[in-house]
């Protein structure tokens, strides 16, 4: 026969397992689909999207600060960052070149015509806003 400790442990084990049995509902069948909870989804995907940076030394053709052009660049997922020649961040021009080459390669695989479209929309933004000063 079992001793009293064994009976008590068996009773505690059965009692603790009975609480978990009550929580399982086997009558409903699972469809395997996960429902999305709208309160957990971000309201605007553009706010959470991290933009890639293309470094440039002048603002001649990029319409820096123009809201129309900012919308165009954000749509493609990049932004222009103006860095003067002696600014910290890149110790040589080669590092900046290879960084920009990597960013442009990523943009190419996202949308192969991104450069042509951005240049065309840059001209349209320039005409709309009258931003002819570089």
At 105, which helix (H) or strand (E)? Answer: helix 93-110
pTM metric for this prediction = 0.59
> Is 40 a residue whose pLDDT tops 70?
no
Spatial separation of the C-alpha atoms in residues 87 and 99, rounded to whole Å: 16
> Is 39 a residue whose pLDDT tops 70?
no
Question: Which residues does 2 contact at the CB level (< 8 Å), separation at least 6?
Answer: 10
> Is 46 a residue whose pLDDT tops 60?
no
Spatial separation of the C-alpha atoms in residues 86 and 45, rounded to whole Å: 35
Spatial separation of the C-alpha atoms in residues 108 and 78, rounded to whole Å: 12
> pLDDT digit string (tens) for 71-129?
899 989 999 988 877 777 777 788 889 999 999 999 999 989 999 999 899 888 888 88
Q: Give me the residue spans of the domains in the chain.
A: 42-129
> Is 134 a residue whose pLDDT tops 70?
no
């Amino acid at each position: 026969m079992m001793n009293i400790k064994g009976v008590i442990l068996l009773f505690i084990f059965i009692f603790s397992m009975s609480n978990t049995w009550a929580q399982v509902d086997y009558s409903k069948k699972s469809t395997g689909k996960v429902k999305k909870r709208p309160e957990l989804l971000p309201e605007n995907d553009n706010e959470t999207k991290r933009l890639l940076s293309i470094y440039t030394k002048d603002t001649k053709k990029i319409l820096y600060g123009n809201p129309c052009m900012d919308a165009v660049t954000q749509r493609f997922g990049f932004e222009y960052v103006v860095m003067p020649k002696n600014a910290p961040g890149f110790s040589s021009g080669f590092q900046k070149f290879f960084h920009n080459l990597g960013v442009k390669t990523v943009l190419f695989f996202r949308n192969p015509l991104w450069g042509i479209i951005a240049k065309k929309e840059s001209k349209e933004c320039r005409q709309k806003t009258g931003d002819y000063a570089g």
